[in-house]
Amino acid sequence: MHMKQDGRRLIIAEGNAQVWIEPWGENSLRVRMTADPVMDANDWALTEPVPETDSAITFETIDVTDPWYRGEEWPQYHQTAQVATLTNGKISAHVNHEGWISFRNQRGEVLTEEYWRTRDRMNRYCVPLRVTAREMKHVMGSDAYELTARFEAYDDEKIFGMGQYQDRHLNKKGSTLELAHRNSQASVPFFVSSRGYGFLWNNPAIGTATFGTNVTEWKARSTRKLDYFITAGDTPAEIERQYSAAAGRTPMMPEFGMGYWQCKLRYRSQEEILSVAREHKRRGLPMDVIVIDFFHWTKQGDFKFEPNEWPDPEGMVKELRDMGIEPVVSVWPTVDERSENFGPMSEQGYLVSSDRGINHHMTWIGNTVFFDATNPGAQRFVWDRCRENYYTKGIRCFWLDEAEPEYGPYDFDLYRYWAGPALQCSNIYPVGYAKGFYDGLKAEGEKDVMSLVRCAWAGSQKYGVLTWSGDIHSSFRAMREQLQAGLSMGMAGIPWWTSDIGGFLGGDGSDPAFRELLIRWFQWSCFCPVFRMHGERDPWIEPTTEVLHGVQRPSSGQPNEVWSFGEQVEGILTPFLFVRERLRSYIRRVMQEAHETGAPVMRPLMFDFPQDKEALNVEDCYMFGPDLLVAPVLEAGATTRRIYLPAGCRWTDAYTKETYEGGQYVTVPAPLEIIPVMMREGACYDIYR
């Protein structure tokens, strides 16, 4: 093993294997390793140009003689070796004489370091397990490697971020997370540590991340290199700013995105969707967006309106826009083998292929294959069809569903993309899906681009992605899990996030228990980045026997408008539509902050109060921007809520107007008609009149 400097890069080399450590923006480093003679060139999430910083590499020669041999009687065993340090602002990488790396902040404190359990020549820590921090094991019969990277575990460390997983733990310490996308799971492998650093696993391969009590371990089942980004900062806000500078920041949210979104599974015709919009406006209720869900098309992969049910899309769009409502249209990545586009896409290599077996990915209402969103040509082809059939008719915002994509089954070793085997690159699928529409809309001159997408990976945010949490259950347990999912997505660098109000799967509108859940979820969503009603709503309407274009038309769930659940529910939900409107200027300011700095819109208390140790432990409340502390009611039948108020300022209950000192837990009223919201000292918002 030897170390050398190549410009601003520090290289650790041994045979063909080499490790590159180099500055990557402010207070940040990128580390790459290959076992091949040439480093893989993919930058994956690190696509943004970063400023050149004042960094320095130093070398030092040290005595590494085994203590047993020291002394004049053993001169032949005297040895020296080289160590190196690369410093870039507030972070430095220290490489010892064996090539082990530790990362420290500007005060010399260890942020994290590689996990080695072998004997080194200085006998610092003699453990003959032969467990190394960086392993690239050749996958027999291929040119790929199975990768494992290990870091030390720290008892005091808390981990925030990593994307969207269906559990209730905001702090991921102690978790094993699959690095793969599924319906309701979005792997976004960036986290912020309570030890003062952020870490991006810059690898879209299928694998796992384990934040154990004995080791932190990352695994990729098939890859060509190790690649990660690490950044140091004095606050979580500084860390997020530096990470988003390297991976990209969200655009400014379009004005229509900040209001209320109306949606259900599914509005079945042009007349039905217009009647809902008209009734909403007749009642004097705010609505910014209405969504046209799946199977408004002829066949999957045709990417166009079915003309019998949607006879005049241009007229529909005009009437909606005259009412101040933006229409959003669902697009699926599935292409039916009977679609007019299947043949051309197959011939040009625009469909995901299978290495073995029958190449069908979904068999719901047709045998379908996913288009290959990693292929730039496929991105352009799908956009061109959507431009021709939707954009020219006035549609400017798209709902990109099934974006994981939702394989059945999720046997990733079966599938192959333009970018490579699915095992190596599957997690970038939603990035390419969103990028195709972002680039297409930008090319048409659109300034405000937003796509509702059912998945994301690191870097998705720069393509105007609004992620939602997929087909979740209608229950308080699911609501609690979505709270941490939204906070974790924000800390992972995806600031635009939402969930289906009331849950998607299940939910009988006539059931009092569901009505209570719907109320609590609706209240909470008013204080989420996007306020969006959706769900299938039991029992389904009697299925139709109608067949159009060789496809049986699917049925629909029950009505899902604010007046659909009885007068009491309507009376509670309706005021929150106006709360959202009164907060619009505040939300606009928070969205501007997300655009300019990468700050999450909804974030854990520790983001705004990093010096408050108790704020690190709070998982059931959050900050909605810098001024509002929101405490969703997460249990059926609850009428009070215990809240922790961070130290350093006073807080005013938006409902009771009572003021409290920070640094304490308080219990406040939470009757069915309100959600507890605490306003930070100096802030005054008209939430409850």
Cα–Cα distance between 226 and 219 in angstroms, integer? 10
> Can you give the three-state secondary structure of 364-383, one letter per residue?
CCCCEEEECCCCHHHHHHHH
Catalytic-residue membership of 401: yes
Catalytic option among 404, 406, 516, 653: 404
CB 506 within 8 A of CB 476: no
Whether the bond between 266 and the residue before it is cis, its omega within 30 degrees of 0, is yes
**Nearest alpha-carbon partner for 202 in 314, 45, 319, 12:** 45
Q: Which of 97, 89, 356 is nearest to 245 (CA)?
A: 89
Helix, coil or strand: residue 277: helix
Dihedral of CA atoms 4, 7, 8, 13 in degrees, nearest 10, equals -30
- Show the CA angle centred on residue 264, arms to residues 259 and 266, nearest 5°: 135
One-letter amino acid for residue 186 of the chain: A
CA distances (Å), 327 to each of 263, 278, 671, in order?
10, 13, 35
Give the distance from CA 34 to its chain's centroid.
28
CA distance 138 to 145: 4
Q: Give the phi and the psi of residue 595 in degrees, each rounded to 5.
A: -65, -40
Give 369-429 as a DSSP string.
EEB-TT-HHHHHHHHHHHHHHTGGGT--EEEE-S-S---SS--GGGEEETTEEHHHHGGGH
Closest CA to 630 of 517, 491, 528, 501: 528
Q: What are the helix and strand counts (H, E) for the chain?
A: 12, 41
Distances 213 to 149, 230, 367, 648 between C-alpha atoms, Å: 16, 21, 46, 32
Instruction: Count CB-CB contacts under 10 A for residue 39.
Output: 15
Closest by CA to 234, choosing from 654, 611, 651, 666, is 611
**C-alpha to C-alpha distance for 66 and 454, rounded to whole angstroms:** 57
SS3 67: helix
Q: C-alpha distances in angstroms, 674 versus 238, 571, 621, 641?
A: 34, 12, 15, 11
The H or E element that residue 628 is part of is strand 628-630
Cα–Cα distance, 455 to 466 (Å, whole number): 9
Residues tagged active-site? 401, 404, 471
